[in-house]
Amino acid sequence: MYKLISSKILELHSKQAPATGIGLFRILYGLITLQEIIFLLYFNHLIFDPIPYIDVEFPMIPFFLCLWAIIATFVTAGYRYQFAVTCNYIIWIIFVNFTPMQRDFDGGFDLFMIGAGFFLLFMPGDRAFSIDQLRRKLSTPFAHYSTYPKPTVSALAYTLPVAICLGFLYFDSAIHKMFAEHWRNGLGTWLPATQPYYVSVIDMSPLLNNKLLQNMLGYTILIFQFTFIFFFARRQLRVIYLLVGLGLHLGITLSFNIYPFGLGMLSFYTLMIPFKWWRCIGQLASAKQPTLTVFYDQLCPLCNRTVLTLNHFDVFNCIDFKSAQEHAPHYPALASINSETLLTDLYALDRNNRIYSGIDTYAQIFIKMRYLFPIGVILSLPGIHRFALKKYRSIADSRSRIPCSSACLTPQALPDTTLYHYFFEDIAAQKPHAFSRKLSKMLIVLLVLQLNSSIHYGLIYRLNADNPQNPISQASNAMLMVSQTFLGITPHALYLHDHFAGYDHILAITYTDQNGTERWLPFANKEGRLLAPNWGRVHSMWANIAITPNIDNKRLHKFIMKVTAFWGMDCGLNFKNAVFNIKLKKINAPSYWVYDQLHKNFASPWTTIGTAKWINNQIYFDLPDNINQL
C-alpha cells in the first residue's frame, strides 16, 4: 500500500490542472463561514448566554465574531491568504471547543469545516479569483497583463481533500448506516423527511409518497458512499459520482433544515468537476472578441496598476487594454486627439468607434464587464457622474509622469509565502521522491486516525464490545480526541435508527399575549416544523438534544429556559410575570414505508402538558416528571 500511495502521489503531482476549481472552493468555503458567523451573531444570546439577555456571560462574543467575519471575508476574497486561512482554522477550533457551540449547539458541520480548513492551509487557494493574485501583478506594474500565464496547480490539490474530507466521511457514514433498520430497508432519506422537526418549508410529499423512488434513493446512497473512496478519481466514473453527490447534497440543502451542512458538502464538489470542463467553461464564458478597447499611458505607474486591476476583474475578457504610445496611432478614430491629450486620460473605443474618456471610460468598462453592469450604470447617473468626475480629475491631473528608472521598470515581484508553494513546489521540485514518501506517511497516519474512529464507533461501540477500562480503548479515545479537535475526524452517524427509535413525541411552546390570545412562540409552528431562522445548530439543539426518544428533564428544562427567554424577549414579553404553555404532539417514526407519513405527523393534535413561568427573571416549571410515558 505504501508504494502504491507513493507512486500515485508522484503521478498526480506531475499532472497540472487549472486553479479555477480551488479558487471557487475557497470562495464558497469563505461565504459559508460568513453566513454561519452572521447566524451566530443573530443567535448570540441564545447560544452563548447562560440565560439569554438576563445572564450574559460572554459580552465580548460579538466583538470576536466580527473579527472572525473580517478573517472570513479575507478568505473569501483571497487576501493575505495564508494568514487568513490559518486564523480561520484556529478560530473554528477555539469557538467549537471553548464555547457551547459544540456541546449544546452542534451544527452538524463544525468539525467538517475544521477538516476542510485544515486542508485549505496547504491548498493553493490564492491562485484564482484572489486579491493576492492581483497584488503579485501590481508588484510588477510595467509587465503587461498578457505576460502572466493562467495559473495552474498540482492535481494533488484537488484529489487529496476530496479523498479524505469526502471519501473517508462517506465510508464511515455508510458503516453506521448498516446498523440502521430504515437504511437497510431503503428508507434512509424517507424517514427523516417525514419528521416535522427536520423538514424545510418545501413540501417533498410527492416524492416521499413514491415508495419505489425512495428505495432507489436509499440504496443508491449506500452504494455511493461505500464505493466513493475507491472510484471517484477514475476518469470514467468521475462524472457519475459528481452528479450523484451534487443531487444528494442539493436534496439535503432543500429538503432539510440543516442547510449549512448541505452547503458545506456541496462546496467540495467544485473540486470534483473534471479539469476539461473548467477549460470549456472558460472558453464559453469568455468574449469571442473584446467589446471595448482602452488606451492608457504605458509610462505611468498609476495607469499601469489601474489597467492590471481592471483586467484582473475582467473575468470574461471583454476589455482589451493597449498602450496609447504604441497602438493609438493605428486607430483612425483617435487621429483627431492630440497625443499629449491622449495621455492625460483613459480613452476607449467601442465596436461602433464611439470614443469615451475619463470617468465615462470607467463607466463603459464596468458595463462591458457584464457582472459589474450596475456599477457602470450608477456611475453614469447625473449627480454621481459629476461627483466622480471631480474626484477623477483631481487624481488624474496630479499623477506623476516622471520617467521610470530601470529599477522602477523591473521591480521585485512579491514572493509566494504559502505552505502550498513551500511544500508542493519548492521541496517537491528539489526532491520529488522524498516528498512523495513523506506525504505517503502522512496520508497513512490520517488513514489510521480515520480507521480508529470508524472501527471504534462504527463497529466496536455498536456491537456493545466497548470497554472504557481497556487500555486499548483508552488509547483509542485519546487518538479520537486529537483527531476530532484538529482534523475534524468524527463519527458520521446522522439520523440513524438509534436516533429515531422511540422518537414518537415532539414539543412546542405557546404564550398568552396581552389580549388573552394564545400565540405560538416563533420557534415551532402548529405543524411541528421549526421555523426559520431556527435551523442549523438551533434545530440541532432542540431536535437532537432537548427532544430525544428518552427525554432528560434537566436538559429539557435548560433549553426551554433558553428558548423562552430568547424568543420571549423578541416578542416583548415581561419576564417579571410571563407564562408559557408546553405542548406535546404524538408522531410516528416507522422504519417501514407509510403513505403520506409527513402530513399524518403534521395533522396530529397538540395537548398542553404543563407550563413554564418566569417570575422576576427566574423560571419555574410545572411539567410531568416523565414525559416519555405520556
Q: Which three cell numbers stand for residue 360?
A: 465615462
- What whole-number distance in Å separates Cα of residue 316 and Cα of residue 493? 44
Coil, helix or strand at residue 347: strand
Tens digits of per-residue pLDDT, 472-519?
778 888 888 889 999 999 888 777 777 888 899 999 999 988 888 899
On whether the CB atoms of residues 319 and 310 are closer than 8 A, the answer is: yes
**Farthest-apart Cα atoms in the chain, separation:** 92
pLDDT at position 405, please? 54
Listed residues 129, 149, 169: the one ending a domain: 149
pLDDT at position 267, please? 96
- What whole-number distance in Å separates Cα of residue 234 and Cα of residue 373? 41
Question: Looking at residue 524, what DSSP letter applies?
Answer: B
Q: Which three cell numbers stand for residue 586?
A: 404524538
pLDDT at position 403, please? 54
Alpha carbons within 13 angstroms on the beta-carbon side of residue 425 total 15
CA-derived radius of gyration, the chain:
29
138 domain-assigned: yes
- What whole-number distance in Å separates Cα of residue 62 and Cα of residue 47? 12
On whether the CB atoms of residues 104 and 68 are closer than 8 A, the answer is: no
Tens digits of per-residue pLDDT, 80-98?
999 999 999 999 999 999 9
Residues in the chain with pLDDT < 50? Answer: none
On whether the CB atoms of residues 77 and 29 are closer than 8 A, the answer is: no
Tens digits of per-residue pLDDT, 12-23?
999 999 999 999
Which pTM value belongs to this model? Answer: 0.93
390 domain-assigned: yes
- What's the total number of domains in the chain? 3
476 domain-assigned: no
Listed residues 97, 119, 149: the one ending a domain: 149
164 domain-assigned: no
pLDDT at position 384, please? 93
Q: Which of 316, 314, 275 is nearest to 18 (CA)?
A: 275
Same domain for 525 and 404, yes or no, is no
Same domain for 404 and 518, yes or no, is no
Same domain for 140 and 33, yes or no, is yes
321 domain-assigned: yes
The region, left, alpha or beta by phi > 0 then psi within -120 to 50, assigned to residue 349 is beta
Q: 124: exposed, middle or buried (C-beta count within 10 Å: 0-12, 13-18, 19+)?
A: buried
Question: Looking at residue 188, what DSSP letter applies?
Answer: T
Which residues touch 319 (CB under 8 Å, ≥6 apart)? Answer: 290, 291, 292, 293, 294, 310, 311, 365, 368, 369
- What whole-number distance in Å separates Cα of residue 567 and Cα of residue 577? 15
pLDDT at position 411, please? 60
pLDDT at position 282, please? 86
543 domain-assigned: yes
The Cα-based distances of 364 to 173, 367, 380, 512, 529 in angstroms read 52, 5, 9, 59, 49
488 domain-assigned: no
- What whole-number distance in Å separates Cα of residue 296 and Cα of residue 304? 8
pLDDT at position 410, please? 58
On whether the CB atoms of residues 191 and 218 are closer than 8 A, the answer is: no
Same domain for 512 and 620, yes or no, is yes
Helices and strands (H, E) in the chain, number of each type: 31, 11
Listed residues 114, 149, 184: the one ending a domain: 149
On whether the CB atoms of residues 227 and 243 are closer than 8 A, the answer is: no
Angle between helices 373-380 and 382-396 (to 10 degrees): 90
pLDDT at position 108, please? 73
Q: For position 395, which CATH number holds?
A: 3.40.30
Q: Which three cell numbers stand for residue 579?
A: 407564562
Same domain for 24 and 134, yes or no, is yes
224 domain-assigned: no
Q: Which three cell numbers stand for residue 242?
A: 459528481
The Cα-based distances of 384 to 58, 347, 365, 389, 502 in angstroms read 44, 20, 17, 8, 64
On whether the CB atoms of residues 198 and 524 are closer than 8 A, the answer is: no
The Cα-based distances of 83 to 110, 126, 257 in angstroms read 21, 11, 33
Where b means 16+ CB within 10 Å and e means fewer, 498-520 reads: ebbeebebbbbbbbeeeeeeeeb
- What whole-number distance in Å separates Cα of residue 561 and Cα of residue 557? 6
Where b means 16+ CB within 10 Å and e means fewer, 560-581 reads: bbbbbbbbbbeeebebeebbbb
Domain with 58, as residue range(s), is 20-149
Q: Which three cell numbers stand for residue 422?
A: 513551500
| Residue 502 bridge partners (DSSP) | none
Question: Looking at residue 434, what DSSP letter applies?
Answer: H
Same domain for 508 and 615, yes or no, is yes
Same domain for 398 and 516, yes or no, is no
